[in-house]
Structure 1
Amino acid sequence: MTLNLLKLSVGPETVEDLEGFIERRIREAGTDHTWHQTRMVPKRRVDLLDGGSIYWVIKGQICARQRLIDIVPFTDDEGIGRCRLLLEPALIRTERRPKRPFQGWRYLEPHESPPDFSGASADDGLPSELRDELSDLGIF
């Protein structure tokens, strides 16, 4: 059974900022994927890797997702257990959904996950703030 994760995006203030961060990380690391490092290892690994994604919350809105590739637990240099969530590089915009702040990550059931954005194309040249306002008005 597919399961997703929900995570606050700390730092990026727009989807474009997050896309830029992903591109820089991949370029600097010389990999074909990106990752997010966390302290807690998800216990429902099998369900997450059965087509699951990490849904990103930016400025109080779920607005994008990335497909999970793998979950890799490891111990850092200080002997602390950590986990690296390996992610596909493609950032898929979703329909925006408000989400209150929380710490860490949360499981997100598929029926609770917002659908992929089906309005104007992510490549339409509109700034994300304008696209968000138009979406809030029901235009997209």
Structure 2
Amino acid sequence: MALHMIKLVVGCDTIEDLLDWRRGNTAPGQPWILRTRQTPKRAAEMVDGGSIYRVFKGAILCRQRILSVETVGAGPNARCEVTLHEELVRVAPTPRRAFQGWRYLEARDAPEDLALEAFGEAPPELARQLREIGAW
């Protein structure tokens, strides 16, 4: 069973903001790399079908498949680079409190992918409210 990672998005309020940031800060054809300070001890489990779930303003809204996890550098300068698939998959908006760094997310606790044809492009705030009252 795949193991996932969950991480807060800072500086972007929506998935569209994140995509705009990506387009403005990365040359075309460059891999999408997430850099963190520490390499996950369970990295092999995350590469085997795991995703990073992103939290925007208190709600998990999307995920990206993890392609590789590598430690770069050595000693106090060591960092972790998580290479991600380019495609962002929208998930059922799920409330999540703020935390620092990243956390593991077990597959059984991960939000389900959204079938966009069933719900259309609902604004994130509306989707969150519908989820809270159990209508979504």
TM-score when normalising by structure 2? 0.85
CA contact (8 A) 1:56 1:62 kept: yes
CA contact (8 A) 2:93 2:127 kept: no
1:39 pairs with one of 30, 37, 40:
37
CA contact (8 A) 1:97 1:114 kept: yes
Structure 2 gap segments, 5+ residues each: none
Report how many aligned residue pairs link the two structures.
136
Name the SS of the counterpart of 2:44 in structure 1. Answer: helix
CA contact (8 A) 1:15 1:128 kept: no
Greater Cα offset, 55-64 or 79-88: 79-88
Letter in 2 for 1:19: L
Name the SS of the counterpart of 2:48 in structure 1. Answer: coil
Counterpart-to-counterpart distance in 2, 1:61 and 1:103: 15
Aligned partner of 1:62 in structure 2 is 60
Pair 1:7-2:4 in alignment: no
CA contact (8 A) 1:32 1:89 kept: no
1:128 pairs with one of 117, 121, 124:
124
Aligned partner of 2:91 in structure 1 is 94
Task: State the Cα deviation string for residues 73-121 of structure 1 (Å, max 9, x = none).
Answer: 1128x95110111001111111011111111100000000010113556
CA contact (8 A) 1:16 1:128 kept: no
2:108 pairs with one of 108, 111, 128:
111
Aligned partner of 1:84 in structure 2 is 81
Aligned partner of 2:46 in structure 1 is 48
Name the SS of the counterpart of 1:29 in structure 2. Answer: coil
Percent sequence identity over aligned pairs:
38
CA contact (8 A) 1:95 1:118 kept: no
1:73 pairs with one of 71, 74, 80:
71
Structure 1 gap segments, 5+ residues each: none
Tell me: CA distance 1:132–1:7, structure 2 relative to 1, closer, same or farther (3 Å): same
Counterpart-to-counterpart distance in 2, 1:36 and 1:121: 31
